[in-house]
Structure 1
Amino acid sequence: MAEKGIFEGLPWWVKWIAVPVLVLAVFGSLIVSVLGFVLTFAFKLLLLAALIGGLVFVVKKFTSSSSSSKGDW
């Protein structure tokens, strides 16, 4: 409701163009930093999941092949 009071009587472009441009000008580097951190974190999380999955796959493959060869003896 405070928004209507602040922007009431002003042209539409103030609310939809000027204010977002000012917000980006003031907080743009912060937004980019946070976005970069989130994307880096997500990439590292996916990389960790892939590495753990690969490790589990390799360990299971070698342990199952070594246990089957023990059965042959």
Structure 2
Amino acid sequence: MAKLSFLAGFGAGYVLGAKAGRERYEQIRRLYASAKDDPRLQAAAGVAQARADAAVDSVKTRMGTDTGH
């Protein structure tokens, strides 16, 4: 009887946990979908990309490996 109770409890916990995990996944997916189209985020990503490109170019120049892009 204890084994059956354990299996029933485990099954219920698994189902409830899986549902909660799926709901959280869907929440994160919706947040990502709305954020990726936000112009403020796009602007920040553009600035970050430009800074990263400038840093890479600077390092290449200092190391003498500038390929002349």
For Structure 1 versus Structure 2, the TM-score category normalised by the shorter chain is: 0.5 to 0.7
Aligned-residue identity in percent: 5
Cα distance in structure 2, aligned partners of 1:30 and 1:57: 40
1:31 corresponding residue in structure 2: 4
- What TM-score results when the alignment is normalised by the length of structure 2? 0.54
- What TM-score results when the alignment is normalised by the length of structure 1? 0.51
Q: Is 1:40 aligned with 2:13?
A: yes
1:63 corresponding residue in structure 2: 36
Cα distance in structure 2, aligned partners of 1:62 and 1:55: 10
Deviation at 1:66, TM superposition (A): 2.8
Q: Which runs of 5+ in 1 are unaligned?
A: 1-27
1:49 corresponding residue in structure 2: 22
SS of the equivalent of 2:38 reads helix
Q: Which runs of 5+ in 2 are unaligned?
A: 44-69
Deviation at 1:65, TM superposition (A): 2.0
- Structure showing greater Rg: 1
Give the paired residue count.
43
Two-structure CA RMSD over aligned residues (Å): 2.2
